[in-house]
Amino acid sequence: MTQLPAVDGMLDVRSDRLARVHALADGGTFTELGSQARHHVHAFDMQRKRPHGDGVVTGTARVDNRPVALFAQDPTALGGSLGEIHAGKIARILDHAARARTPVVGLLDSGGARIQEGVAALDGYGQIFRRNVAMSGRVPQISVVLGPCAGGAVYSPALTDIVIMQRNRAHMFVTGPRVVKAVTYEDVSLADLGGADIHATTSGVAHFVADDDQDALDLTRRVLSYLPSSCWHSSPAAPPADALPMPEIPADHRQPYDVRGVIRGIADADSFTELHAAFARNIVVGFARVDGQSVGIIANQPLVLAGCLDIAASEKGARFVRMCDAFGLPLVTLVDVPGFLPGTGQEAGGIIRKGAKLLYAYAEASVPRVTVVLRKAFGGAYIVMNSKSLGADAAFSWPGAELAVMGAEGAVDVIYRRDIIADPDRRDEFIDRYREEAMAPHIPAERLSIDEVITPAETRGVVAATLRSLEGALQLGFRHDNLPQ
Ligand code: HXC
């Protein structure tokens, strides 16, 4: 093979990426693989640009003394773009992680497929995507986006379990502003096209936004601390800690409150880490620990849209439930839901199809599953939110919680329609009757839809004891992938 010359100044520009890798890895544990790899492309005078490592650092390390596989792209080397060798290095480290059953962390900063390498670069992405999918649900895959990323550099993260974006430098788009301008004549900034805020609030691509590189790496460590090395391992335990005091929530079912206070009244202190905090805020999802053990928490949020389920909330919840189930994290579901959000926008947008994703995810989940109904659970949303009928191992409710096909006002307008037309003054009487006969809090427990009515104060203890009693139900092994929703 022809020996291609190195060009002065292009030899080793990897120090910045190595610094990022070392900042994530436990001291002295990073072992680099493929540092001398370089492309052999002649077209477009590429023989003049042959950075060592071909724009990506790959290797293995330990994080909190657990093994991980790592890759970090280098935007100062050919824009971090992905050519055949660059792709081959990432593919090898993914294969290593799959074989060794360790998580993979990718630090991304790349203009996507290396234009000069043409179809070889595209095939490189194909190799990576195929591995991302083959590893899905088997080992955790975390994408940390630290700079502008385009094309394949955003589709690979989309196939992984967690996307963390650095607030100022990270941008993600399928096609960058220059291509957008050329095709649609639209002038758009990097931030408006694919900034961290857009992806955290509107598109739902980003699970977390980090203030800077260090914060992104700290978040990565935190996320890894909840997850097992693979679906064949148990999740790491932490020293147990008491929960915060359970807050009082408004008795009036129409009054909003922040359900995150209830979550903190159940989880070990400081253990709750919310995912997708700014996206589909009507549902809250996050990792936490109960008595030191990792769990996934899903809760309706009465502060936003009264906690109704809609398309975005269903997809957000479904992906989280499937990720927890794939990696053996028990599910704790807190329910306070008036139903699915009604309206033409939701129906035309596909709430039937997309709401079914959450239904499917819960019904499929085989990890221990505990539900607490805080105030109300109506209609399809009651069933979806981890009801006993859908396979919850245990369901509790707080005193006064109402479970019904729908709220009293809507119900009487259906079942007493004729009587109300004949005498509108009787509507309140019918509402009282419906509340008494269909919504009385004792009915669900009598019918075994609820196992036990418990007080807010005892909730943390009951949830912890129930999860302990279910330890034997947690089977290690591959369950399913974590299909992007
Ligand atoms: C080759 C690239 C490159 C690429 C950037 N560079 N992207 N080289 N292939 N894809 C090079 C630039 O030529 C430049 O080289 C250096 O990297 C830095 O790029 P800048 O543009 O100066 O940086 P910045 O202003 O920060 O902008 C970053 C960027 C922009 C927004 C990512 O570079 C950009 O828009 N790139 C193209 C993005 C894109 O459309 N990619 C899609 C690829 S298709 P010099 O020598 O000047 O320093 C794809 C297919 C897979 O990925 C699809 C899967 C479904």
Q: Could you give the count of Cα atoms lying within 13 Å of 337 in the half-sphere of its Cβ?
A: 32
**CA atoms of 294 and 313, how far apart (whole Å):** 23
Residue carrying structure tokens 């001398």: 36
Report whether 381 contacts 406 (CB < 8 A): no
Q: How do the pLDDT tens digits run along the chain, 485 residues long?
A: 333 344 333 444 456 678 889 999 999 999 999 999 999 888 898 888 998 899 999 999 999 999 999 999 999 999 999 999 999 999 999 999 999 999 999 999 999 999 999 999 999 999 999 999 999 999 999 999 999 999 999 999 999 999 999 999 999 999 889 989 999 999 999 999 999 999 999 999 999 999 999 999 999 999 999 999 999 999 999 999 999 999 999 999 899 999 999 999 999 999 999 999 999 999 999 999 999 999 999 999 999 999 999 999 999 999 999 999 999 999 999 999 999 999 999 999 999 999 999 999 999 999 999 999 999 999 999 999 999 999 999 999 999 999 999 989 999 999 999 999 999 999 999 999 999 999 888 899 998 999 999 999 999 999 999 999 999 999 999 999 999 98
Cα of 186 vs centre of ligand 1, distance in Å, is: 19
The pairs formed by 17-22 with CB atoms below 8 angstroms and a separation of 24 or more are: 17/56, 17/57, 17/72, 17/73, 17/74, 17/107, 17/109, 18/57, 18/72, 20/72, 20/107, 20/146, 20/213, 20/217, 21/57, 21/59, 21/61, 21/70, 21/72, 21/107
What pLDDT does 132 receive?
Answer: 98
Domain 259-401+441-473 CATH (choose: 1.10.1660.10, 3.90.226.10, 3.30.465.10, 1.10.1040.10): 3.90.226.10
Q: Which amino acid is at 58?
A: T
**CA atoms of 156 and 393, how far apart (whole Å):** 35
Q: Which amino acid is at 39?
A: H
Pocket test for ligand 1, best of 119, 178, 180 (most atoms within 8 A of CB): 178
| 2-226 topology per CATH | 2-enoyl-CoA Hydratase; Chain A, domain 1 (3.90.226)
Pocket test for ligand 1, best of 44, 50, 81 (most atoms within 8 A of CB): 81
**CA atoms of 29 and 35, how far apart (whole Å):** 16
Ligand 1 surroundings by CB, under 6 angstroms: 78-79, 81, 111-116, 122, 125, 148, 150-152, 155, 175-176, 178-179
Smallest CA-to-CA distance from 131 within 153, 152, 160 is with 160
Show the tokens assigned to 445: 């427990």
Coil, strand or helix at 309:
strand
Sign of CA dihedral 76, 78, 84, 87: positive
- Asked if 2-226 and 259-401+441-473 have one fold, the answer is yes
Q: What is the pTM of this model?
A: 0.94
Residue carrying structure tokens 């359900």: 259
Smallest CA-to-CA distance from 362 within 347, 381, 337 is with 381
Domain-wise residue ranges, the chain? 2-226, 259-401+441-473
